[in-house]
A and B are shown apart, each in its own frame.
Chain A
Amino acid sequence: MTIAELVEEASLEQVGYSSDQCLKCNVCNTACPVARVTDLYPGPKYVGPQAARFRMGRNLPAQGKGGPRLKSPDLTVDYCSGCGWCTTVCPAGVKVAEMNSQSRARMKAGGRPKLRDWGLGQTDLTGRIGVMFSPLGNWALANRPLRRMMELTVGIHHAAPFPKFSRRTFQSAWKRRHKGDVGRPLPGPDKAVVYFHGCAVNYYEPHVANAAISILERNGFQVIVPPQVCCGLPLISNGIYGEAREKAHHNLKILADYARKGYRIIGTSTSCTHTIKAEYREMLDIHDDDATVVANATWDICEFLLDLHDHGKLDTGFGRLDEDLPYHAPCQLRSHGIGLPAMDLFALVPGLRAMDMDHDCCGIAGTYGMKKEKYDIGMAVGAPLFARVRASGAAEAACDSETCRWQIEKASGVRTRHPVEILQAAYLAGDAAAGRAGQSPAGSGGVAPVTSH
């Protein structure tokens, strides 16, 4: 072997070894939204590739068996929000955010997770209970004294944004609506897609699903909603890898069948789709065939719609929406590396003046900004964004990721919606102009406003 042959593509490297690629250039440090606002966080270069060299057993799966010798000496890495900017900007291909996530998991290995972190990871469980007792739960989440209690006891900041539970899960509503479909043959993969709804849609925002489904149907796709569980991201970000792997395998098993038959998997949550595309393999170290076929078949909804348009297959019957629309591209969307498809789609809507807010992170980063000790950091990270949204004077804003929407809406006071809700409104406007009957989606109504809190 010659020395020249030693040079290898960075992209081939496992997360554990990707610190080998670091040139110490500091680009990640200048991009990190958290390091910018707090001294509590020393920045990606330090907690990532630098600290990695001081960790034992970094070849082993995070939270694998191995006992105390794997215990990580880190503390500050817990302040990483997981927004992923460092990985996105690193010119050398170091997987800093992934490394941080894994070392957080190592840090917590052995010990039992904090009740709060465990709870924030259990989106399926809290969601199901919340929906079951939705009036009570929603009252509790809006009740100030109770929220103060929650902050004191479990460490969730009293002002952290929480959406309202819906009265029924999207899954159960869908099942009821499609009871008759069972056993009916599916159209081929060019005529049907699989929908991965994620927890937010299931428990809080069914209207996002309805908008997405009606758009997909309008463009000629039958929508398949297989049974599914949380993608696992909230568990990953809270360092609970074991359970996250169980969720991942559960989903992969179901989705792989469809993916192998050529069906595409579409999600409305950019963070769920990114988890399926990338994190199952990179963070959770799941490298089987299921993980690969599913990752390759998964699309973010706007990515998918824009691809249809690129092939001349998107129905562009959008009507006029005469409004300013501030748009925030979530960190997770940047990690997809697909540009800003929502902005391209907005450009197809006559009259719509979408404005990229050009800010890196809103500060919520999943559940990060909800935590007592991180709330202020999150708010500081997102402050310029909130100011810009407010200053736009617009009536509503758009953003692809649910927790970001809740954060922006709460912090700026401007109603914030998923791009598909905007597009659906544009379709309806088009239909109205054409004098056609609006293709109002079934269920709760595709454009139901988000309840503000």
Chain B
Amino acid sequence: MSESYACDVLVVGGGVTGAGVLRDLARRGLKTLLVDRGDFGTGTTGRYHGLLHSGGRYAAGDAVTARECIDENRVLRRIAPASIEDTGGYFVATPDDPEDYVDAFPAACAAADIPCEEIPVAAALRREPALNPKIRRVFRLPDGSVEPWNLIDGNIADARAHCSDAWSYRRVVAFERAGERIISATVRDERSGTTARIAPRFVVSTAGAWAGQIAALAGVEVTMVPGKGVMLIYNQRMTDTVVNRCHKSADGDIMVPVHTVAILGTTDVRVADPDVYDISREEVSALIAEGEKLFPDLGRMRLLRAYAGVRPLYQPPAATQAAQNRSISRAHTVLDHGEDGIDNYVSIVGGKLTTFRLMAEDTVDVVCEKLGVTTPCTTADEMLPNQVPGKTYWLGHRLAEHEAEGGGDSALICECELVTRPMLASFLDEHWPCSVDDMRRGTRLGMGPCQGGFCTFRAAGMAAEHAAAGASGTTDDAIVGYLRERFKGTRPIAAGRQLQELWMVLGIYGGLGIESLVDGGPAADAREADDARR
């Protein structure tokens, strides 16, 4: 093993929480290293619903979370406006929602300091005509949508400006303990297979649903109850406003407009392993049926794919095993493993993306206290470096920019999401080496209706140009790997146009001599989906 990398703090898990913890530690003067087993934001953070909570969803049942949400909602609008679309949110009472809940809703919001204004149903329908005309009441709250990768990027960039660093594709495979302390961690480079030794003074686990696995490496027990949530991506936004059902949280009751698409979610099912789950057609149908209570025409709108994420829910040792996942608090908990016999190790579990900064602050407060650092937290006051004051995201910006340059298809690599050759070239310059999937997270490549059908070979070609000479042969793998991943998400919803699209894309790649795009042999999935439809 090569020589070790010394730092003050090692943060394990590069989701939004890890990025937030990294930034906070760095700003308080601690040299910090963040590692993730994959690209940053490939855990739950990259597979969440996209909602910047106003807190309204928790107002009636979980006042602590509700208040944290609205506070952090305000903070994020200040420090990361470009990552946020100020869509506003409606909480609508459908005929299915219990009146007492609806009646008590405004007061519950007021108690949590959440601005909540009732507006006439007609006004809501005028703004969002796809809404169910039978809704009875509508409340307007400051919900929004938030882009996670941009947020992670900004946090990491700020940390790098403060003598810290972040490494992707480095998996923590072991901890070395000396008595009450962790003295080093072994990380494996997931691309080259080599390992490195990190020697930190302190370890923070921000591994979300995987926090239990990391704890096990250190020899302590953290019981996570990963909750799988399924979401459906619609081809275009049937609403420009976030729409929530005004009732006790349940499945399929929120629609979030995110960039060019709208996402319906979610569900909550306990899974044993956060890396092993699938999405059934029954789950998809059940979600749509619920979603139709908000948008009656949903069944006719085109779905692009289904995906799922796993909630980092934590079960304190005392809680009963019978508790339903939905009733476990969404609030976060900082676990100081000093109680388990390790002095320099904490885990942060639970929480929401909306509250990631607060989670980081609470965690770093504990770390600083242990390390004797008294520098105060400044993450709520300073804007992230990749932001412009006050300028929130606007759906039309990409089209407007592209049009200002004359528009046109010629420079487009991904036509659906308007990703241009220069955009990809500069991404490759900055992030090389990277996979097509990394390019997707960085640019939205392949996230539109054809799900990579027309852009993958172009993007893989650009990547091949970037690669060292002699790297040919990897292009096919890149294409196959990426498209397989994309198709996995299409499979549970494949019907109608999206099924035709899938067939057409298979045809295109078949013509290019690439056959095994779906598991189980050429075109097997599409055929299976076809059969299921018949």
Contact = CB atoms under 8 A, between A and B. Distances in A.
Interface in A33-71: 39-40, 42-43, 45-47, 49-60, 66, 69, 71
Interface in B283-326: 284-285, 288-289, 292, 299-303
B130 to A, nearest CB: 5
Given A23-B449, A45-B409, 14 more contacts: A1-B289, A1-B299, A3-B281, A19-B236, A22-B449, A23-B497, A53-B448, A54-B399, A55-B396, A59-B129, A73-B400, A74-B399, A76-B403, A76-B408
Given A1-B285, A73-B396, A75-B403, A53 B260 contact: yes
A5 B533 CA distance: 9
A431 interface: no
A322 interface: no
Contacts of A72: 396
Contacts of B303: 6
Nearest to B494: A3
A60 B129 contact: yes
Interface string B31-65: 00000000000000000000000000000000000
30 contacts: A1-B299, A3-B281, A3-B495, A4-B495, A13-B300, A17-B236, A19-B235, A20-B236, A21-B302, A22-B449, A23-B449, A23-B500, A24-B453, A24-B501, A29-B409, A42-B407, A42-B409, A46-B408, A46-B415, A47-B407, A49-B449, A53-B261, A53-B416, A54-B260, A55-B399, A58-B236, A59-B130, A69-B240, A73-B400, A75-B404
Contact of A57 (B240, B284, B534): B240
Contacts of A13: 300
A7 interface: yes
A313 B288 CA distance: 54
Nearest to A21: B497
A6 B496 contact: yes
Given A3-B281, A54-B398, A56-B395, A73 B403 contact: yes
Given A24-B415, A24-B454, A3 B533 contact: yes
B289 A52 contact: no
Which of B396, B398, B418, B504 gathers most chain A CB within 10 Å?
B396
Given A20-B497, A75-B407, A5 B299 contact: yes
A73 to B, nearest CB: 4
Given A24-B449, A42-B407, A6 B396 contact: no
Contacts of B416: 24, 50, 53
Nearest to B298: A6
A2 interface: yes
A76 B404 CA distance: 9
Given A3-B493, A74-B399, A53 B236 contact: yes
Contacts, number: 130
B471 interface: no
Interface string B381-409: 00000000000000111111001101111
B224 interface: no
A57 B236 CA distance: 11
A432 interface: no
B238 interface: yes
A310 interface: no
B399 A51 contact: yes
B69 interface: no
Contacts of B403: 73-76
B415 A50 contact: yes
Contacts of B237: 53, 56, 58
A47 B64 CA distance: 47
A5 B297 CA distance: 12
A69 B394 CA distance: 9
B415 A7 contact: no
Interface in A409-428: none
Contact of B495 (A6, A24, A74, A92): A6
A22 B303 CA distance: 12
The size bracket of the interface on B is: 35 or more
A59 B301 CA distance: 13
B71 interface: no
Nearest to B401: A73
A20 B301 CA distance: 7
A17 B395 CA distance: 17
A107 B416 CA distance: 21
Contacts of A55: 395-396, 399
A22 B497 CA distance: 8
A181 interface: no
Interface in B112-153: 127-130
A35 to B, nearest CB: 9
Given A6-B303, A24-B454, A54-B418, A59 B128 contact: yes
Contacts of A76: 403, 406-408
A387 interface: no
B408 A39 contact: yes
A268 to B, nearest CB: 38
Nearest to B288: A1
B450 interface: yes
Nearest to B303: A6
Contacts of B454: 24
Given A6-B300, A53-B260, A76-B408, A23 B129 contact: no
Contact of B533 (A4, A8, A57, A60): A4
B532 interface: yes
B532 A3 contact: yes
Contacts of A57: 240
B396 A56 contact: yes
Contacts of A60: 129
Closest 4 CB pairs of A and B: A73-B400, A73-B396, A20-B302, A54-B399
Interface string A74-97: 111000000000000000100000
Interface in B462-503: 493-497, 500-501
Contacts of B284: 3
A60 B131 CA distance: 12
Contact of A24 (B236, B281, B299, B450): B450
A45 B415 contact: yes
Contacts of A8: 299-300, 496
A69 B305 CA distance: 28
Interface in B401-432: 403-404, 406-409, 412, 415-416, 418
A25 interface: yes
A54 B415 contact: no
Nearest to B501: A23
